[in-house]
Amino acid sequence: MKTILMIGMGKFGHHLCQNLARLGNEIMIVDDREEVLEDLLPVVTSAKIGDCTNEEVLKSLGVRNFDLCFVCIGTNFQSSLEITSLLKEMGAKYVISKANRDIHAKFLLRNGADEVIYPDRDIAEKLAVKVSANHVFDYIELTEDYSIYEIPLVKEWVGRTIGDIDIRAKYHVNVLGTKKGGNLSLLPGADYVLKSDEHLMVLGQNEDVDRILKRL
Q: How many C-beta neighbours within 10 Å does residue 84 have? A: 28
Q: With bands split at pLDDT 50, 70 and 90, how would you rate the model's confidence at 18?
A: very high
Element (H, E) at 57: helix 55-61
Q: What is the mean pLDDT of the chain?
A: 91
Fold for 122-213, please state it: Alpha-Beta Plaits (3.30.70)
How far is Cα 37 from Cα 85, in angstroms, rounded to an integer?
24
CA distance linking residue 110 with residue 1, whole number of Å? 29
> Does domain 3-117 correspond to CATH entry 3.90.930.12?
no
Check residue 201 and give its pLDDT.
Answer: 94
Beta strand extents in 2-145 (DSSP E only):
3-7, 26-31, 46-49, 68-71, 95-98, 115-117, 138-141
pLDDT digits (tens, 9 = 90+) for 65-105: 999 999 999 778 999 999 999 999 999 999 999 998 888 88
Q: What is the mean pLDDT of residues 9-28?
A: 94
**Share above pLDDT 70 across residues of the chain, in percent, rounded to a whole number:** 99
Neighbours of 82 (CB within 10 A): 19
DSSP state of 153: P
- Domain spans of the chain? 3-117, 122-213
Is pLDDT above 90 for 161? yes
